[in-house]
Structure 1
């Protein structure tokens, strides 16, 4: 009988073994974390977002579009419940962003202060009351009667048609519910329930809000929809993500109507685990907020803005509108601070260890991964993972196929989850093969998903090298 190697000697032997020998032993091989791995700054589905295409080179993977409802819902007969649509403007937005490898986030509005009326003309012709106002410097827009029966019916029909058109569309990252209120932000302030200021109450009733949200819920089963107001509904509140459009100014606890206290009141503080959080950096602070870290400069007569890092970590935000950042000169300090915040947003995937035994020509290739999320939020779509093989000279050999890794279930702050992939490989006997991995973007030219690993992009751009292996004969 061959003597057994003492445990200590075995451990030392594995420690000093070549990568192929280590893998062949079936041991787990620890991977090195790299918080500045190539591509992390432009990871898809997360980060800061410009209005359309950016101009100054700051990295991004999503683009924002506002669209007037009147450009999309072009006619109808409320009595008959029939409507006509023209999707040209939405199609143009998706095509424009996709040409740059990006996805869109968008909002459709009926009333945008300072812009032309966006309520479909056929509804106005049917008698929908329209209200003039001078708030927010407005002189051109008008607010419809938000509780008009024909309007609610038309909005329900439009939401259904929109879902049929784009639910699961790979060029769309997230949809904000929009439609109702100023800027589609689900409020009519100052024309709200507090009439002590002498302003009328133009708010949509709770019943009508629930009708719209119910339609969004049924129309979108694949693409995530986000709502501005955490208190918009109790019936459907867990079905949506949320967005804070005054981020890092009216976000944190301390004032009851700030965003996160409203999330707390609604019992939604854990909703980020399954639904994305987004919003917009308060526009007035965008130009100066990256002069220091983590607090932006003060404004509004000395009223301090909130701690950006605390705001991101509290809300588990994944994306934020920040148009100024992408379309103005940005100095080195501002660039560095903004990029630091961008990396804080959303997910950060890290393969912490790999087990890759050497296969034979007749036995399948099997790999196990321990996968962590070191970000603040999940990866909200279960995009496929693809495994492929390079030879010792880093020349492409073949793809081994795709699988689902269950990305949305890899939560920040949780222990690493073990994911496995086994397949017939069809490789010839040889040494020094490399197994590589990527997350497959649904856009053929989409920005790659980068892992926070030292071997990200080491042997092939956009791919993570998992390890080296040999193929032997029996």
Structure 2
């Protein structure tokens, strides 16, 4: 907990502030200092970017990118060739390069996709995203059977998704599907997410690489 010694844990600065305070936060270096020491997840401003050429919008977007969690893939290890009766072992090392942890635990899943990027298998995990503090480095590990898959080329994907978003449900979430899965800071191929007819999230996979079953 020493990481939090210089500020509170998380929080949100409300929009109901005086004009002087507003200008201090967004038009001086105070906003950046608050985010880094207070570990803010968000700092609301009403209509901050109505005019994208305004100085306020430019500063707001800069501060917005500093806030919250931000996961960066450091390393990924798996067998590039595997026999049909072997277990597939995946190790994914990530770092939270943001200023805050996630506000609650989202689901971390690994997926096996076909060469055409069709989802074939999902491997769930029990890792806790809320415990990954800024600067923390963690390795996610899975070791699973590829039973029932034929010989050929496949892709490995990973996604961090809002709990229950991936399950079928009777109610419609009034939420853009892009807000239910996390993008890594790295430039990796992403299978875009969408809601299917049963209100379950499909896609949202970040592709980690290819392997062959022999």
Q: TM-score range by the shorter chain?
A: 0.7 to 0.9
User: RMSD across aligned C-alpha pairs, in angstroms?
Assistant: 2.8
- Alpha carbons 2:13, 2:42 under 8 Å: kept: yes
Q: Where does residue 450 of structure 1 map in the other structure? A: 183
Compared CA separation, residues 464 and 336, structure 1 to 2 (3 A) = farther
| Offset of residue 467 of structure 1 | 1.4
| Offset of residue 401 of structure 1 | 2.5
Matched, 1:331 2:52: yes
Alignment length, in residue pairs? 185
Contiguous gaps of at least 5 residues in structure 1: 1-266, 298-304
- Alpha carbons 1:386, 1:399 under 8 Å: kept: no
Q: Where does residue 191 of structure 2 map in the other structure? A: 460
Aligned ranges for residues 363-374 of structure 1 at < 5 Å? 363-374=86-97
Give secondary structure in 1 for the equivalent of 2:58. Answer: helix
Contiguous gaps of at least 5 residues in structure 2: 166-174, 193-203
| Offset of residue 282 of structure 1 | 5.6
Matched, 1:393 2:116: yes
Q: TM-score normalised to the size of structure 1?
A: 0.36
Distance 1:361 1:323 in 2: 56
Q: Where does residue 200 of structure 2 map in the other structure? A: none
Compared CA separation, residues 351 and 285, structure 1 to 2 (3 A) = farther
Distance 1:369 1:400 in 2: 16
Q: Which has the higher strand share?
A: 2
Q: Where does residue 76 of structure 2 map in the other structure? A: 354
| Offset of residue 284 of structure 1 | 3.6
Distance 1:374 1:434 in 2: 26
Q: Where does residue 321 of structure 1 map in the other structure? A: 44
Give secondary structure in 1 for the equivalent of 2:60. Answer: helix
Matched, 1:423 2:165: no
- Alpha carbons 1:364, 1:424 under 8 Å: kept: yes
- Alpha carbons 2:35, 2:66 under 8 Å: kept: yes
Give secondary structure in 1 for the equivalent of 2:59. Answer: helix
Q: TM-score normalised to the size of structure 2?
A: 0.74
Distance 1:336 1:306 in 2: 14
Q: Where does residue 14 of structure 2 map in the other structure? A: 280
| Offset of residue 399 of structure 1 | 2.9
- Alpha carbons 1:386, 1:438 under 8 Å: kept: yes
Q: Where does residue 185 of structure 1 map in the other structure? A: none
Distance 2:16 2:35 in 1: 14
**Deviations, residues 272-307 of structure 1 (Å, cap 9, x unaligned):** 2xxx32222563449x85xxxx9634xxxxxxx662
Aligned ranges for residues 39-118 of structure 1 at < 5 Å? none
- Alpha carbons 1:383, 1:404 under 8 Å: kept: no
Compared CA separation, residues 385 and 362, structure 1 to 2 (3 A) = same
Q: Which has the higher helix share?
A: 1
**Deviations, residues 93-121 of structure 1 (Å, cap 9, x unaligned):** xxxxxxxxxxxxxxxxxxxxxxxxxxxxx
Larger radius of gyration: 1
Aligned ranges for residues 252-291 of structure 1 at < 5 Å? 269=6, 272=9, 276-281=10-15, 283-285=17-19, 289=23
| Offset of residue 373 of structure 1 | 0.2
- Structure 1 runs (4+) deviating above 6 angstroms are none
- Alpha carbons 1:382, 1:404 under 8 Å: kept: no
